[in-house]
């Protein structure tokens, strides 16, 4: 029996196969455990997850006023956030975050379930939460 080798045109009925452009790779400036603050609004938080690009609903995105709506092709961060009145979950673009230089821990009830220690402006992820 002779060997048979497929070419791209054999697999698709003779049509030319075009390469698919991969999305631009973004590199996150912040990492899980970093304490950050919002550039425009008065809140801060600890990062507990990172999306390399926007990964929320279009409805959520369109609810942001157009004049401050961030680009989708940048890292977005999930934060355990706090302000002067409450704690909550926030989803924030990289362009809107700055390192928090207060050197104070974040007051959020879910921190103890995800992180162990706080030192030098960042939290250490619990061992059982790492891959």
Q: Is the pTM of this model over 0.95?
A: no
Q: What percent of the chain has pLDDT over 70?
A: 78
5 has a pLDDT exceeding 80: no
Pairing of strands 44-51, 35-38: antiparallel
pLDDT for position 17: 54
Q: How far apart are CA 83 and CA 43, in angstroms?
A: 5
State pLDDT tens for residues 44-62: 999 999 999 999 999 999 9
Instruction: Say which CATH architecture domain 27-129 belongs to.
Output: Roll (2.30)
State pLDDT tens for residues 20-37: 555 555 689 999 999 999
Instruction: Give the start-to-end residue ranges of the domains of the chain.
Output: 27-129
- Section 92-98 average pLDDT: 98
18 has a pLDDT exceeding 70: no
Retrieve residue 84's tokens: 């002067």
Q: What is the mean pLDDT of the chain?
A: 86
């Amino acid at each position: 029996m002779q060997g048979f080798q497929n070419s791209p045109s054999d697999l698709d009925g003779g049509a030319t196969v075009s390469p698919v452009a991969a999305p631009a790779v973004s590199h996150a400036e912040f990492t899980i455990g970093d304490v950050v603050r919002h550039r425009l609004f008065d809140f801060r938080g600890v990062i507990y997850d990172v999306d390399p690009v926007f990964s929320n609903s279009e409805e959520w995105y369109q609810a942001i006023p157009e004049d401050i709506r961030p680009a989708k092709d940048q890292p977005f961060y999930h934060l355990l956030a706090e302000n002067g009145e409450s704690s909550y979950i926030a989803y924030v673009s990289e362009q809107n975050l700055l390192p928090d230089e207060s050197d104070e821990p974040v007051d959020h009830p879910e921190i103890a379930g995800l992180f162990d220690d706080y030192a030098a402006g960042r939290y250490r992820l619990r061992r059982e939460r790492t891959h």
